[in-house]
Amino acid sequence: MSEPLSGRHVLITAGPTREPIDPVRYISNHSSGQQGYAIAEACAALGARVTLVSGPTALPGPAGIVTIRIETALQMLAAVETALPADVFIAVAAVADWRPAAPSDTKIKADKSNLSTLQLVENPDILKTISQLANGRPGLVIGFAAETHEVEAFATAKRVRKGCDWIVANDVSGDVMGGTENAVTLVTPVGQERWERAPKAEIAARLAARIAEAL
C-alpha cells in the first residue's frame, strides 16, 4: 500500500470536552468522537505518525495511534501545544465554548439556590490559537464547522475568522452528531467542494487523501 503521509506528523483533536461544575456535574455536548477517530485512522493508514488528543468518548484508542485522553478545553489546548510540532493540525473536537468560572471542590447541594446562577467564562479557541501561532504553525491547519443552515457561507466566514487553511463544513441539520454518516463541504482558499453523504470512515479517507495531495 502506498504511504504518502509517511514521515508526517498529524495532530488531531476529537470528541467533546467536559467542563466541571462540581465533582459530579459537568457541561458537555453530544460529540461521539467518531469522525475525529476515523480521520486519525485514515491518516495513519496513509503512513502518518498520528497524535490524537481526545475528550471523553466510548471509543477505544485506535491501534498504533498515540491517544492522549483529556477532559477539559484547557487540558486539550495544553496537550495540543505539548504534541507540537506537527505538519498538519485537524481540529475535529466539539470544544465547549464556556466553562464554569469557579468549579466547586465539593458537591453543590440541590437545596442551595446558587446553582441557578452559574458563572461561566469563555474557553480558549484551540483552532484559532494554533492557526495564529507565530512560530511553529503547522503547514496545514484544518477546522470543522457544524452548521444547520447557510452551511457554505458560514463555513467560508469561519475559515477567515479562525485563520485556518481549510474548513470541513458539516450539515448538522439531520442526525449527524453521534451518527455514523456525514455530509460535508470542503472549503479551501480556492473554493468549495460538496461531498455526498457517506459513512464517516469514507469522509475520513477522502480528507486524508486530499491532505496527502496538498503536502
Binding residues vs ligand C5P (CB under 6 A) = 13, 73, 91-93, 95, 97, 123, 125-127, 143-145
Q: Which is nearer to ligand C5P, 48 or 169 (CB)?
A: 169
Q: Which is nearer to ligand C5P, 4 or 28 (CB)?
A: 28
Residue type, 7: G
89, 36 in Cβ contact below 8 A? Answer: no
Q: Is 170 a residue of the active site?
A: no
Q: Which is nearer to ligand C5P, 41 or 125 (CB)?
A: 125
Tell me which residue has cell 497524535.
51
**Minimum CB separation from ligand C5P for residue 18, in Å?**
13
**Minimum CB separation from ligand C5P for residue 161, in Å?**
8
183, 196 in Cβ contact below 8 A? Answer: yes
**Angle in degrees, CA 10, 128, 156, rounded to 5:** 95
**Minimum CB separation from ligand C5P for residue 162, in Å?**
6
Q: Which of 29, 114, 123, 182 is catalytic?
A: 29
Q: Which is nearer to ligand C5P, 63 or 87 (CB)?
A: 87
Q: How far apart are CA 169 and CA 165, in angstroms?
A: 13
**Minimum CB separation from ligand C5P for residue 8, in Å?**
20
Alpha-carbon distance values, 207 to 58, 112, 185, 203, 214 (Å): 23, 49, 11, 6, 10
Q: Which helix (H) or strand (E) holds 184?
A: strand 181-188
Strand, coil or helix: 157: helix
Q: Enter the C-alpha cell of residue 22.
A: 462540581
Indicate which residues carry an active-site annotation: 29
